[in-house]
Amino acid sequence: MELSGNDWGGEDTGGSPDVPPQRAHLVVIGNGMAGCRAVEELLARDPARYRVTIFGAEPHVNYNRIMLSPVLAGEKTFEDIILNGQDWYRDNAIELVAGDPVVSIDRQARRVVSASGRAVDYDRLLIATGSDPFIIPVPGHMLDGVISFRDMADVDRMLAAADAGGDAVVIGGGLLGLEAAHGLTLRGMKVTVLHIMPTLMERQLDEAAGWLLKTALEARGQTILTGADTAEIVGESHVEGVRLKDGTLIPASLVVMAVGIRPNVRLAREAGLAIGRGIHVDDHMVTSDPAVLAVGECVEHQSIVYGLVAPLWDMCRALADGLVEQHSGYRGSVTSTKLKVAGLDVFSAGDFSGGDGAEDIVLRDAARGIYKRVVVKNDRIVGAVLYGDTADGGWYFDLLKRQEDIANLRDVLIFGQAFASGGGQADPKAAVAALSDTAEICGCNGVSKGQVVSCIAKGARSLDAVRAGCKASASCGSCTGLVESLLALTLGDQVEAGAKTMCKCTSFGHDDVRREIVAQGMRSIPEVMQKLHWSTPDGCSSCRPALNYYLLCALPGDYVDDQQSRFVNERMHANIQKDGTYSVVPRMWGGITSPRELRAIADVVEKFDAPMVKVTGGQRLDIFGIRKEDLPAVWADLNAAGMVSGHAYGKSLRTVKTCVGSEWCRFGTQDSTGLGIKIERMTWGSWMPHKFKIAVSGCPRNCAEATIKDFGVVCVDSGYELSVGGNGGMKVRATDFLCKVATEAEAMHHCAAFVQLYREEARYLERTAPWIERVGIAYIRERIAEDVEGRDALAARFLFSQSFSQDDPWSERVADDARQHAHMAEFRPEGAMA
């Protein structure tokens, strides 16, 4: 499965990216956190140095494995934990081969071969195969229902088991085991945790903190058995229970093994590389073969194998330096663990075992469930354990790494940095100010205080902007307080609370970008990115379509629509289906058709062997099963019959639904069909922030469902009632009443003004319903119903922009722009145009 290509719409085009052949080829085995972080670091230093191919065993883009627990618990979705989306690979000309793991390395030929038989040559090879879960080889460990907790496939299996109901046993009381137990408990399963040691998370917690954690988890409904030694897993073909060595039988339909991990060194061993517990690497992450590097949990550096994230970031920086010939070198890592276990804050660092010459400084607050222990030796911190309140973990860890003399802080050390830095008074700003620039703020993403401050200096004005700029606080969120303190310290009252950035490429929000495009007279996507300091060279599939729309809306007639910045459905004038074929929807004005149009559709269905034709909810015919290569010919045949694109797939006008109205219906008060056709001809082809639907009902019986459309008209005896902001779908919203008008011309004029206000002020991909809920219906009424001059100006701008409306070359206008707008002039109220 290849996720490469240059298609902004997100279509998988396959093949290798178009890159200069003279660049050295770097092949990466492993699409996980370490492999992709190494590539990120390399791109930050010299994006043109290497051509990159990444092989991944999983059929996914790169995601944050640390955040699998929130996905299991239902707090996040897979999309929320993606670190590098498909756009990242495409934007950086990286070829991703997903779901096709490398199975062999030929070091002499410098070639790797994947499971599918694909052979790829390399100049430099990076092995980032991570680690494998350890499965205890007790009787029954191969039964159906025994799983590990290591990747999304494991999460999917646990979710399926939870949906089926029953009891679960988690073997292992470390971090992963407790997170699995927490998630399964939230999913409704009865969970028992078995841990062979007397203390939970014994590598991170001392006995006191472990007891507090056990007590809290039991209070949440879990059964925790420490000192529990598994004898066998019971069952015939599927898990039925777990038996302990003391004879206890615990019923279960699911067993999660979370007893540890070990480096995945199979490929390296078979390739003849030097192996210990992990792949041997030097300070530059080079293996025993100078052409092969390794990084992450699969490596062994100076006899140490690391299973935490922070050392991986240090390794990746050293590796990237070496690839661009800077050779900084990796010297090993002092590790800390700051995390949430089932929503409970835990931190540990260094050696908390005590011993000769060590002294403990302890604070216990039983009422608040807080425990702090700092281990000091020779006036230096050598270890720390925090439970319940981990805010000072980063400070203690910074003092530990720098081996700071804490003699002068000895009396106040346990009360935390804010107290110590404030001279005996709690002062959070003074506390964060006292951290060194190298102090780690975000352990999940390896971000220091200096990097956060630099991100703020480059324009980040909110927590979301910092997350987008340097990833601090973008994963587990435990460092959010520190990031917010740095924002407050650096910006004061200029911090933008809740401001949302367009995407990870910029610290600007949608409204800021639209304002700056107009204010600075920017006229192209590259100009916007340059002047607004985009952090990526060409943007991504989130910001490019938005920028293309904002420029198109601001500069009608002057800006040339960038087709490659459109979603694939808009470019193809067809809606891609799950089998890779397309559906085609020609426009039927107001739902009216003719024998000629029906014959043209029937001929297309037969000629191109379309398997299905369906009447849509928008009163049109949808032709399914058209192959991509046939789309130009399909549209040529439909154009010949006078039919144009229905934009059933675009961020634009979709349909204008009508009833038969007064011409045929005995209840009809006005010609709803005729008015609907006129409105559709006026508005079709206009690009908008999102899809836009209109309906005209001929009487208050509302057969066209006008009150759940973006713009609705209900005809009454005395005129036309206009309403806005409705939609169907997952969350049905009825329209808000806008105003009542007396004539067709006024109804069309108000429609044009409303559409233009929406086009100019809504954010890209924001439907009219959330836009109106955000700005308020009173504001819309003021701009459209009450401000006559403003309404006229909006309508004039809309009609002006329509005179330059561009369409795909596969479909042609029914008439040229001049004739079309001459036709619209018949329905324009006197004085509408300035």
Kindly give the pairing relationship between strand 241-244 and strand 249-251. antiparallel
pLDDT in tens, 780-812: 999 999 999 999 999 999 999 888 764 433 333
Mean pLDDT for 8-21 is 38
pLDDT band, residue 12 (cuts 50/70/90): very low
Which residues form the domain of 318? 24-132+263-323
| pLDDT for the residue 269 | 96
| pLDDT for the residue 429 | 59
Q: Is 807 left (phi over 0), alpha (psi -120 to 50) or beta?
A: beta
Reference 335, options 373, 365, 308; nearest CA is 308
Reference 347, options 308, 311, 386; nearest CA is 386
Residue 669 predicted with pLDDT over 80: yes
pLDDT in tens, 340-367: 666 678 888 888 777 777 888 888 776 6
Q: What is the CATH number of the domain that holds 580?
A: 3.90.480.10
Residue 499 predicted with pLDDT over 70: no
| pLDDT for the residue 478 | 62
Report the SS3 class of residue 193: strand
The reply to whether 376 and 521 lie within a common domain is no
Residue 715 is assigned to a ligand binding site: no
Of 443-447, 598-602, 760-764, the poorest mean pLDDT is in: 443-447
The reply to whether 802 and 667 lie within a common domain is yes
Residue 659 predicted with pLDDT over 50: yes
Evaluate whether residue 224 is within a structural domain: yes
Residue 665 is assigned to a ligand binding site: yes
Reference 226, options 249, 196, 255, 257; nearest CA is 196
Distance from C-alpha of 742 to C-alpha of 716, rounded to nearest angstrom = 10
| pLDDT for the residue 340 | 66
| pLDDT for the residue 343 | 66
Q: Are 554 and 518 in contact (CB under 8 A)?
A: yes
CA angle 606, 609, 615 (to 5 degrees): 75
Distance from C-alpha of 22 to C-alpha of 428, rounded to nearest angstrom = 53
Residue 821 predicted with pLDDT over 80: no
pLDDT in tens, 258-312: 998 899 999 999 999 999 999 999 999 999 999 999 999 999 999 989 877 878 8
pLDDT band, residue 20 (cuts 50/70/90): very low
The reply to whether 294 and 429 lie within a common domain is no
Of 581, 610, 640, the position where a domain reaches its end is 640
Distance from C-alpha of 621 to C-alpha of 296, rounded to nearest angstrom = 54
| pLDDT for the residue 730 | 66
Evaluate whether residue 4 is within a structural domain: no
Evaluate whether residue 418 is within a structural domain: yes
Distance from C-alpha of 76 to C-alpha of 74, rounded to nearest angstrom = 6
pLDDT band, residue 825 (cuts 50/70/90): very low
DSSP bridge pairs for 168: 191, 254
The reply to whether 189 and 219 lie within a common domain is yes
pLDDT in tens, 91-123: 999 999 999 999 999 999 999 999 999 999 999
pLDDT band, residue 813 (cuts 50/70/90): very low
The reply to whether 661 and 792 lie within a common domain is yes
Kindly give the pairing relationship between strand 82-84 and strand 447-448. unpaired
Residue 298 is assigned to a ligand binding site: no
| pLDDT for the residue 342 | 64
Q: Is the pTM of this model over 0.75?
A: no
Indicate the Cα dihedral angle 695, 697, 703, 708, nearest 10°.
40
| pLDDT for the residue 535 | 64
The reply to whether 551 and 690 lie within a common domain is no
Mean pLDDT for 166-181 is 91
The reply to whether 615 and 695 lie within a common domain is no
| pLDDT for the residue 822 | 33
Report the SS3 class of residue 62: strand
Distance from C-alpha of 268 to C-alpha of 294, rounded to nearest angstrom = 9
The reply to whether 295 and 372 lie within a common domain is no
Residue 322 predicted with pLDDT over 60: yes
| pLDDT for the residue 754 | 97
- Retrieve residue 666's tokens: 């005995």
Which of the two residues, 453 and 504, has the higher pLDDT score?
453
Q: What is the CATH number of the domain that holds 94?
A: 3.50.50.60
The reply to whether 302 and 401 lie within a common domain is no
The reply to whether 375 and 471 lie within a common domain is no
Evaluate whether residue 137 is within a structural domain: no
Specify the number of domains making up the chain.
Answer: 7
pLDDT in tens, 252-266: 999 999 998 899 999
Mean pLDDT for 311-336 is 87
Residue 5 predicted with pLDDT over 70: no
Evaluate whether residue 276 is within a structural domain: yes
Evaluate whether residue 287 is within a structural domain: yes
Of 268-277, 372-381, 527-536, the poorest mean pLDDT is in: 527-536
| pLDDT for the residue 366 | 65
Residue 8 predicted with pLDDT over 80: no
- What is the largest distance, in Å, between two alpha-carbon atoms of the chain? 99
Residue 659 is assigned to a ligand binding site: yes
Residue 73 to residues 43, 159, 184, 399, 529, Cα–Cα distance (Å): 34, 9, 7, 35, 38
CA angle 144, 146, 147 (to 5 degrees): 120
Distance from C-alpha of 529 to C-alpha of 543, rounded to nearest angstrom = 10
| pLDDT for the residue 824 | 33
Of 324-338, 709-723, 736-750, the poorest mean pLDDT is in: 324-338
Distance from C-alpha of 624 to C-alpha of 606, rounded to nearest angstrom = 12
- Range of 495-504, 608-617, 779-788 with top mean pLDDT: 779-788
The reply to whether 666 and 710 lie within a common domain is yes
Residue 497 predicted with pLDDT over 80: no
Of 519, 540, 566, the position where a domain reaches its end is 566
| pLDDT for the residue 94 | 95
Evaluate whether residue 164 is within a structural domain: yes
pLDDT in tens, 201-252: 888 888 878 888 888 888 888 999 999 999 999 999 999 999 999 999 999 9
Distance from C-alpha of 47 to C-alpha of 50, rounded to nearest angstrom = 7
Mean pLDDT for 676-691 is 91
| pLDDT for the residue 367 | 66
Q: Calculate what percentage of the chain has a pLDDT beyond 90.
A: 45
Mean pLDDT for 537-562 is 86
Of 135-149, 152-166, 466-480, 617-631, the poorest mean pLDDT is in: 466-480
- Retrieve residue 722's tokens: 């206009």
Mean pLDDT for 5-34 is 61
Of 435, 459, 484, the position where a domain reaches its end is 435
pLDDT in tens, 402-446: 888 988 888 888 888 777 765 554 455 566 776 778 777 877 777
The reply to whether 578 and 659 lie within a common domain is no
pLDDT in tens, 178-193: 989 989 998 889 999 9
Q: What is the CATH number of the domain that holds 806?
A: 3.30.413.10
Residue 832 predicted with pLDDT over 70: no
Q: What is the CATH number of the domain that holds 428?
A: 3.30.390.30
Evaluate whether residue 484 is within a structural domain: yes
pLDDT band, residue 176 (cuts 50/70/90): confident
Average pLDDT, the chain: 84
| pLDDT for the residue 186 | 87
